[in-house]
Structure formats: C-alpha cells, structure tokens
Amino acid sequence: MDAPHARVLITGAGTGIGAATARVLARRGDELALHHHLHRAEAESLAEELVAAGGRAFPVPGNLTFTKDLDRMVHALSSRFPSLEGLVLNAGAYPRTAFDQISDEQFEATVRLNLFSPFALTRRLLPLLRKATPSPARVVLVSSILAFNGSAHGADYAASKAGILGLARSMARELAPGITVNVVAPGSIDTAILAEDTPAQREARGRQVPLGRVGSPEEVARVVAFLTSPDANYMTGTTVHVNGGLRMD
C-alpha cells in the first residue's frame, strides 16, 4: 500500500511561481492537482514531467472568475481526492493601468480573480480540507509586496492583494485548529508578470533590492513548501515576505 502523502491543489500551476511550487512539492512526494486556465499545454506537460519523475500530478482546468468553473473543479477534485491536505491559492493577474484609466469593469475583474476566487474556492473545498489526514490542512495565499506599498498603475491589484491579508487572517481565526492559513508576499520575482519590463527597467528593479537582484520563482516556492509542511505546524494567520529585503516588516 502507498505511504500516506499530502494531496495539494495549486492554482495557476502552469507557469511562474505556481509551476515552481509544483516541482518543489512533487519532489517531497505530494500528489498534485495542477490548476491552469490559458496555459493548458504547460500544465499538461508539467504533469507529464512530474509523473515521469515518479511523482503524482494531474491538470485541472478552470477560469477562476466563473463560479461554474469553480464548481466543476471542486467536483473533479472530490472525485479523485478523499481529502485535501494543502491548497495553494497562487493564481492572479496584474494589469498595469493608470488610476484614471482603470474602468469599473477592470477593477471588478481584478478583485474577482485575485480576491474573490481564493475565498470562493476555499469555501467550496472546506469539506475536503476538513478531512485532511493528518490534520491540519494547510492553505497558503499568494499576496504581494504591493499590498503593503501600494502600486502606481496598479490600484486594483494592490487593493486585491491587500484584501487577501484580511481574508487570510479571518480564515485563520475561523478555520483553526483544523486548517492553517498563511500568506506569502513576494517582491519582484522573475516570471511573466515582469515580462513588460525593458532590460533597463529590470536592472533598475534589481538595484533597488538589498540582495541586489529580482527573486526566482523557486525562492518563493520553497517558502510555500515550508508553509504547507509540518515544519510550519505552529503558524497561522502569518504573512511571510519573500522580497530580498525590498521591504522589511
């Protein structure tokens, strides 16, 4: 019989921080549901890569802004997983727009993906999370340094990421002791989100960081791995900054 292992859903697992997290968690033996939306091919080939390396992973599609997709995902997970030991709420989008150009629709869409969908997905998954073996289940939400600093040309994004802090702390209080809820707040991390940077902007971004460079997705993934492991048993409601010293709290 298989040794007990954690079952974990990672949203936005086809790319960036989500894909890096999948690789780190697969290495320690977790069974992974790899959520994706537009990057289907990337999520499918990542699942194949992890399975070929002896791991357990399968893709789960869905547009997290549609409740019917959330319901479909939860149904798909419930039919494969008897319990859920980990939930990494990583998917998010950062449309860069000047404040006076942000339409009502854009603001609502950003909040819907970055803030509403973590709430709605977690609430739907509570029955599976409450069956976590061993308990507690571990939820990690990906916020941002911009939740603390604000963002010129990203008021909708910063507001949604700040909302995650209140959501996570509320869940941490209400869902304890069976579920822990923590937040990771990355600084500048080398993913598609920074792809709009020119080489000069990118170099300037690195110079602002005390550690002298932008971070890698793996450097965030390792902190997510810690927060979804028994090493973080006595942590809930906490925010861990992963930003090279760009902000020190």
Ligand X SMILES: NC(=O)c1ccc[n+]([C@@H]2O[C@H](COP(=O)([O-])OP(=O)(O)OC[C@H]3O[C@@H](n4cnc5c(N)ncnc54)[C@H](OP(=O)(O)O)[C@@H]3O)[C@@H](O)[C@H]2O)c1
Helix or strand holding residue 158 (H, E): helix 155-175
CB 166 to ligand X: min, Å: 16
CB 216 to ligand X: min, Å: 10
**Interface with ligand X (CB under 6 A):** 12, 14-18, 36-39, 63-65, 90-94, 113, 142, 144, 186, 188-189, 191-194
The strand pair at 86-89 and 239-242 is best described as unpaired
Phi, then psi, of 241 in degrees rounded to 5: -85, 135
Point out the residue whose Cβ comes nearest to ligand X: 16
Burial class (CB in 10 A: 0-12, 13-18, 19+), 72: middle
Distance of CA 64 to the CA centre of its chain: 12
Nearer CB in complex with ligand X: 131/169: 169
Q: Which of 114, 78, 79 is nearest to 93 (CA)?
A: 114
Structure tokens at 154: 């990203």
Nearer CB in complex with ligand X: 12/55: 12
CB 38 to ligand X: min, Å: 3
Q: Order across the sheet with 7-10: list the strands.
A: 56-61, 31-36, 7-10, 86-89, 137-142, 179-186, 239-242
Which position among 15, 57, 121, 157 bears the catalytic label? 157
CB 116 to ligand X: min, Å: 11
Q: Look up 157 and say whether it is catalytic.
A: yes
Nearer CB in complex with ligand X: 20/132: 20
Nearer CB in complex with ligand X: 197/229: 197
Q: Which residues are catalytic?
A: 157
